[in-house]
Copies of this chain bind each other. A is one copy, B any other.
Amino acid sequence: MNDSYSALLDAVAFDADGLVPAIVQDADTDQVLMMAYMTADTLRETLDRGQMVYWSRSRQARWVKGQTSGHTQAVEEVRLDCDGDTLLFKVRQEGGACHTGYRSCFYRRVEGNTLHTDGDKVFDPDAVYDDA
A82 at the interface (CB under 8 A from B): yes
A29 / chain B contacts, CB cutoff of 8 Å:
30
| Copies in the assembly, this chain | 2
Q: Is A11 at the interface (CB under 8 A from chain B)?
A: yes
Proximity bits, A29-59, B CB within 8 Å = 1, else 0: 1111011000000000001000000000000
Smallest beta-carbon distance A60→chain B, Å: 16
> Known contacts A11-B115, A80-B106, A82-B102; is A35 also within 8 Å of B6 by CB?
no
Q: For the complex, is A64 an interface residue (Cβ under 8 Å from B)?
A: no
Within the assembled complex, what's the spacing in Å between the Cα atoms of A113 and B6? Answer: 7
Does B23 lie within 8 Å of A35, measured CB to CB? yes
- Nearest B residue to A86 by beta-carbon distance? B35
